[in-house]
Amino acid sequence: MTDSYTPGGKHLIAGEWVPGASTFRSAPATGPAHDYAAGTGADVDRAARAAEDAFWSYGYSTRAERAAFLNAIADEIEARGAAITDIGSRETGLPAARLDGERGRTTGQLRLFAARILEGAYLDRRHDEALPDRKPLPRPDLRLIQRPIGPVGVFGASNFPLAFSTAGGDTASALAAGCPVVVKGHPGHPGTGEIVAEAILAAIGKTGVHPGVFSLVQSNTREAGEALVQHPFIKAIGFTGSLGGGRALFDLAARRPEPIPFFGELGSVNPMFLLPDAVAARGTAIAGGWAGSLTMGAGQFCTNPGLAIIVDGVDADVFQNAASEALGEIAAQTMLSDGIAGAFRQGQCRIAETGGVTELVGAGSEGRNAAPYLYTVSGETFLANPALAHEVFGPLGILVRVRGEDEMLSIAHALEGQLTCTLHLDESDAPLATRLMPVLERKAGRLLANGFPTGVEVADAMMHGGPYPASTNVSTTSVGTLAIRRFLRPVAFQNMPQALLPADLV
């Protein structure tokens, strides 16, 4: 494979590269723009029908066959590694090292899911043996297993062109479950989506699975996305994106004649609660760590810790000064797209114009670049302005200085659902932490102690989701092996002859 990639600009539908009746032009951070097919409802219909046709074989394939397919996709992505990094960096402005790491995460989760489905524990098999002599009524033989739900629609994410897009976590977990996938590509990185689709097509050829098992429909408008959510052959949706866009699609999925599950990751400010003794002992170090986490990748992570709550006083002054100094030394970074940069500036203006908010750091942002911003506000003002707790996607933090433990607890109660909540504490902070823990457990899917939430491990025990608006389904994760369960449904078999049972139940 070469180190560069020139995209063809077509959809991949059921094994064929398909041109569009119209096109849109990419807007890369560097290098030449390219034209891409603009997906329509007709394109989505063709892809969804192919996915339904593929389900009759792929949905009933063996776990070994699906694992081989997932591993083949990982192999083909790795074979195109340098070219993927090249086009991905040009389109998004992300540095090569970040994309190399994200590619490793993408192939790693494909291989992890392959290993887990081979083990079979995800099937949650249960068997209640018949009790024909039980009184007053006999019990039938009951066997239960998780079965694939059907074709799945996946929306590529703006901030993870690999790990949450074409062959990312949603696609990998759906394919592991036995569900064909139709991806609506993200217009911010269509070339990256295309080369990864090329890798999946090569894996289809090597393993002999039905070509309808995967399609990529490129799009820069709402038409293809809305058609995907509403198509009768699509039985679930995986989405990572904005609260506004995700909620609109969620509502669309609910209004279908046959409503379907919409697994959306939407928004989170990932609050950190800085407990007094920890701040007194190591506030400067915590402030430096916060600055690094807050600005990592220009703040374009769903786990970006945009909110810190601290008890007012001298130690809070030290922390505030240290955070301001650390953030003031961080240069502007390129954002993923012009649209994201514009939304960041709008969010920053919204915070700055709120009464009672003081700007501590604000070098200014221009064009597609974003510099860090830091604001401070009293706990009373924060509680009176719920919009201060809404996500600003980018390197912006708010330090909330509360009057005491009770006001800190009031802020915890007032928060909406989050992906993460963090406690920075020492052993002597245990009484306050004990008061906070039941509240935070109800607010977030992942609770951290003395760390920073950026960096989500792909593992069996990972939970990446939370109460709304962090996600649309509080009981599921979009990262880790539990993600496979989103695209399965339990089926019970009563007194079924062994010859008719699924192979995994025999």
Q: Which residues are known to be catalytic? A: 265, 302
Residue 433 near residue 423, CB atoms below 8 Å: yes
CA–CA distance, 132 with 386 (Å, rounded to integer): 60
Instruction: Please classify residue 202 by burial: count the beta carbons closer than 10 Å to its beta carbon, then call 0-12 exposed, 13-18 middle and 19+ buried.
Output: middle
Q: Residue-wise over 205-228: b if at least 16 C-beta within 10 A, else e?
A: eebebbbbbbbbbbbbeebbbbbb
Place of tokens 């993408």: 106
Place of tokens 């401070």: 376
CA–CA distance, 325 with 360 (Å, rounded to integer): 10
Residues 95, 98, 100: CA angle, nearest 5 degrees: 105
Looking only at the bridges linking them, the beta strands covering 142-148 and 126-128 are antiparallel
CA–CA distance, 22 with 237 (Å, rounded to integer): 26
Give the number of other Cβ atoms within 10 Å of residue 23's Cβ.
Answer: 15
Looking only at the bridges linking them, the beta strands covering 23-25 and 35-37 are antiparallel
Q: Quick one: which of 265, 171, 278 has its CA closest to 456?
A: 265
Looking only at the bridges linking them, the beta strands covering 444-449 and 418-424 are parallel
Look at residue 197 and give its three-state secondary structure: helix
Q: How many CA atoms lie within 13 A of 3 on its CB side?
A: 2
What is the three-state SS of 250-265? HHHHHHCCCCCCEEEE
